[in-house]
Amino acid sequence: MTNGQRNSEFHDILRLIGSAKHVLLCTHLAPDGDALGSMLALASLVTRLGKQTTMVCHDPVPGYLLFLPEQDKIRLPAQIGDEPFDLAISVDASDAERLGDSYALFSKCPVTIQMDHHQTNTRFAQHNLVLEQLPASGSVVFRLFEAAELSLTKQEAIYLYTAISTDTGNFCFSSISDETFEQVAAMMRADLPLIDTARQLHLMREREQVLMLGRALNSLQFYLDGRLSGMTITRQDYLDCGATEEHTDKIVNHGLYIPGVQMCYLANETEDGIKFSLRSIAPYQVSDIAFRFGGGGHAQAAGCTIRAPLHEAVNMVRQAMESELSP
């Protein structure tokens, strides 16, 4: 794609925003840093273009993202009245279902746009700007700022850094390009408080989360001469730590941080059954194993739920992983 073509798509979107009065912005359910950072940045851009904006999300803002300025303006679908929106923009949602209850509000608008970067995007809007080569929706939104010739405010820099840092594993994934760092350079020029934002995003954990990590690490076991590791979280751990499922996010990754480990699992005893998070280092894959047990995911990060007693479920998954590692 040439630069001219690339810009024309963004100018089409700017033209549609230009002829709107009140813009509805939405993102996917169970929102992460890319979802909320991108939506907040986009709302700021649309506001600077002189439009009224309303942000909506199916789920509330998770605790670890409450540091984002003005996140309290994001409403739940039930809190939206009969306001007449003339344009809706979805960001970071790969399909209509991912919008949850926000989709009914989105699809009611006379003009709909979506901006996204997922390969699996279903093109569910009237205007679909899907740039699969970009590492985050925040990078797509950044290009809209460029097309609008608006330089970033400090607050917008915080939003877009949060978005891009989230989806690149804090700048560790192969989806990164030189453009990613050029975008971050523009954020630095806008006075991005890098240290504070990175600490909020990547180091700070809620107390329950750290306590649950302790429980999980305490259960760590090794198999196959240390090539496979496994951790278990029980109902009792939840009760003792006063934790909920969101407090077990990312714990599984610790199983792979040990030299020699090529695959790991976290077995999580929830009310819906034993939830497994599976991870591996390429070329080993865990997606097939997850799929076999009714789950799915990516090649090196997948999950599944098994309705069986904890011990039985763990044995099933461990055996599957062992035979994947030494067929």
- Give the nearer residue to Mn ion in terms of CB position, either 34 or 324: 34
Alpha-carbon gap, residue 237 to 242, rounded angstroms: 8
The reply on whether position 92 binds Mn ion by CB under 5 A is yes
Contact between residue 241 and residue 212 where contact means Cβ atoms under 8 Å apart: yes
- Give the nearer residue to Mn ion in terms of CB position, either 98 or 247: 98
Residues 216-275 that bind Mn ion (CB under 5 A): none
Residues 155-174 that bind Mn ion (CB under 5 A): 167
Applying CB under 5 A, what is the total number of residues that bind Mn ion? 4
270 HSE (CA, 13 A, CB side): 17
- Give the nearer residue to Mn ion in terms of CB position, either 92 or 156: 92
Residue for token pair 């080569």: 133
Distance of closest approach, residue 190 Cβ to Mn ion, in angstroms: 21
> Cα(first)–Cα(last) distance of the chain, in Å?
44
- The pair of structure tokens assigned to 308 is 């069986």
One residue of 34, 156, 237, 269 binding Mn ion per CB under 5 A: 34
Q: What is the DSSP track for 177-195?
A: -HHHHHHHHHHHHTT--HH
Minimal CB distance to Mn ion: which residue? 34
Alpha-carbon gap, residue 220 to 311, rounded angstroms: 15
From 191, 36, 170, 29, select the one nearest 100 (Cα to Cα). 29
- Taking contact as CB under 5 A, which single stretch among the options 132-140, 148-156, 229-237, 284-292 is the one that binds Mn ion? 132-140
- Give the nearer residue to Mn ion in terms of CB position, either 156 or 269: 156
Residues 271-300 that bind Mn ion (CB under 5 A): none
The reply on whether position 116 binds Mn ion by CB under 5 A is no
Look at strands 263-270 and 228-233 and give their pairing. Answer: parallel
Distance of closest approach, residue 198 Cβ to Mn ion, in angstroms: 18
- Give the nearer residue to Mn ion in terms of CB position, either 139 or 229: 139
- The pair of structure tokens assigned to 151 is 């330089």
Which residue ranges make up the site for Mn ion (CB under 5 A)? 34, 92, 137, 167
